[in-house]
Structure formats: structure tokens, C-alpha cells
């Protein structure tokens, strides 16, 4: 699937951000929100000089709430972002490079213990901001895997946990150097989002979908 989608859609250049810290902000802000709304919040932060670790460190929570209001759930997301920066300062001396050097498993546990960080956000931060080779699983991937018969019967029709879906992806990309795997996971997630948005919606639009031939084979 990766190869077929890559041939049709080309490189996706994810994540759409200029710095690793912007990736992290985007990963928090995009929860339950369309990316267009996230862009408005990021623009507000940029204009207020708060689109950096130091900017987030010094901004008050009420002001942060106002700036990220366009992406919704701001009363929850503002303190969650402040909690991330507090953790970065206390445990990694305020350095994302130092944080990225920690082992993947420990980082995933640490991120998951923060407020407002579920497994998908933790993995998006690990992969796209910190360069760790972890897959990101989402609803599009679950739908595609389900519709193409890749799930065990017990896991079909939504009965698969985030970690099980993530493990399925990890196994599909077994082997290779960590950097190579990180690049594959990076591209694969972006490509499944692309095909999911264009075709694999709540109702599948299989006609013209790059994965239609694979679907025929799997049925
Ligand atoms: S072929 Fe159909 S089921 Fe498969 S990814 Fe495309 S839209 Fe989804």
C-alpha cells in the first residue's frame, strides 16, 4: 500500500511545520479539530511571538487560551501545552534535542502521562518532532485495514485498540535502520491520511482510489 500510494501521491513532506516545536504544538492543537483551524491558532501564536519554547514558557494561560481559541477545546489544550513545556524544562533542561536522545519506550510512557496526550498524539510527537521510528495509527488507517481484510475477525469493525493497530503497522515495516523506518512511518501515515481524505471516508469511494486494485485482490 505504501508503494502504490507513494507512486500516485508522491512525497507528502510531513509534518507541515517549520520547527520541531511547531510540530508538537500542532499535534496538541489538531486533536478533534480540522487542520485549517489549527493554522489560525498557529498564526495567532506566531503574531504574538509565542510560537517557540520560550514564548510558551512565558505566556499566561488566559492569553494562551485566547490565542488558540480557533482550534477549539482551548480551556483543556492551553494548560496541556504549558504542562509539556514544564516537563521539558524540568526533565530535559528545556532542550528538545536532549529529549529526543532518550529511549523511545521511556519517552512514549512520559508523553502518555502528560495531560491531553493520548497514544496518537504521543506517537505523532515521537515520530514527527523527535524522529523516533514509531508508526502513527489513526481512524483512516483503521478503516483501510478493516475494509481490506487486514484485521483478525476479533478486531474488525472498530474492535481494535490503538496499540494493536500500531503493532500491525510496525510489523508490516519490520527491519531496516531506525532512520529508514522513521522515514517510512512518516510517509506511510501521511499517505494514508491523503487517501483517507480523498477516498476512504465514512462511506468508501473506491472508484478511482489508488488502492482499488488491492481491494479487489483482498476480497
Ligand atoms: S479502495 Fe475503497 S476501501 Fe480501499 S482505501 Fe480506497 S476507498 Fe478505502
The set of protein residues with a Cβ atom below 6 angstroms from ligand 1 is: 144, 147-148, 195, 199-200, 204-206, 209, 211-212, 215
For residue 210, give the ligand 1 atom closest to its CA: 6
Q: What is the CATH number of the domain that holds 208?
A: 1.10.1670
Question: What are the pLDDT digits (tens) for 185-211?
Answer: 999 999 999 999 999 999 999 999 999
The alpha carbon of 164 and the centre of ligand 1 are apart by a number of angstroms equal to 21
Q: Of residues 153 and 49, which shows the higher confidence score?
A: 49
**CA dist., res. 40 & res. 16, Å (int):** 14
Residue ending a domain, choose from 102, 129, 156: 129
- The tens digit of pLDDT for each residue in 3-39 reads 999 999 999 999 989 999 999 999 999 999 999 999 9
Confidence (pLDDT) at 113: 98
Sign of the torsion formed by the C-alpha atoms of 113, 93, 178 and 214: positive
Name the residue at shortest CA distance from atom 1 of ligand 1: 212
Residue for grid cell 491520511: 193
Give the model's pLDDT for residue 128: 97
pLDDT tens digits for range 123-161 = 999 999 999 999 999 999 999 999 999 988 878 777 889
One domain for residues 107 and 179: no
pLDDT of residue 96 exceeding 90: yes
Residue 41: give the domain boundaries.
Answer: 20-129
- Model confidence at 219, in pLDDT bands (50, 70, 90)? low
State the distance from the centre of ligand 1 to the C-alpha of 200, rounded, in angstroms: 5
Query: DSSP states of 137-201 as a string?
Result: --HHHHHHHHHTT-S-GGG-TT---HHHHHHHHHHHT-SS-HHHHHHHHHHHHHHHHHHHHHTBS
| Grid cell for residue 161 | 485498540
| Domain count of the fold of the chain | 2
Measured between alpha carbons, how far apart are the two ends of the chain, in Å? 15
Query: Sign of torsion, CA 170 172 178 182?
Result: negative
In this structure, the chain runs to a length of: 219
Amino acid at each position: 500500500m505504501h508503494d502504490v500510494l507513494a507512486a500516485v501521491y508522491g512525497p507528502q513532506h510531513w509534518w507541515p511545520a517549520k520547527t520541531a516545536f511547531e510540530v508538537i504544538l500542532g499535534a496538541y492543537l489538531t486533536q478533534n479539530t480540522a487542520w485549517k483551524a489549527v493554522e489560525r491558532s498557529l498564526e495567532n501564536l506566531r503574531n504574538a511571538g509565542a510560537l517557540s519554547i520560550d514564548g510558551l514558557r512565558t505566556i499566561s494561560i488566559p492569553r494562551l487560551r485566547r490565542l488558540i481559541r480557533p482550534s477549539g477545546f482551548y480551556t483543556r489544550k492551553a494548560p496541556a501545552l504549558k504542562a509539556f513545556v514544564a516537563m521539558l524544562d524540568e526533565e530535559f533542561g528545556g532542550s528538545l534535542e536532549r529529549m529526543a536522545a532518550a529511549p523511545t519506550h521511556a519517552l512514549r510512557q512520559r508523553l502518555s502521562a502528560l495531560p491531553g496526550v493520548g497514544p496518537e498524539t504521543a506517537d505523532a510527537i515521537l515520530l514527527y518532532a523527535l524522529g523516533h521510528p514509531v508508526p502513527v495509527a489513526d481512524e483512516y488507517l483503521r478503516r483501510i485495514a478493516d475494509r481490506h481484510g487486514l484485521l483478525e475477525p476479533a478486531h474488525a469493525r472498530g474492535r481494535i485498540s490503538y496499540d494493536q493497530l500500531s503493532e500491525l503497522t510496525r510489523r508490516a515495516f519490520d527491519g531496516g535502520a531506525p532512520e529508514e523506518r522513521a522515514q517510512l512511518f512518516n510517509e506511510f501515515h501521511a499517505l494514508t491520511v491523503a487517501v483517507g481524505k480523498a477516498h476512504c471516508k465514512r462511506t468508501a469511494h473506491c472508484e478511482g482510489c489508488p488502492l482499488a486494485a488491492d481491494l479487489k485482490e483482498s476480497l
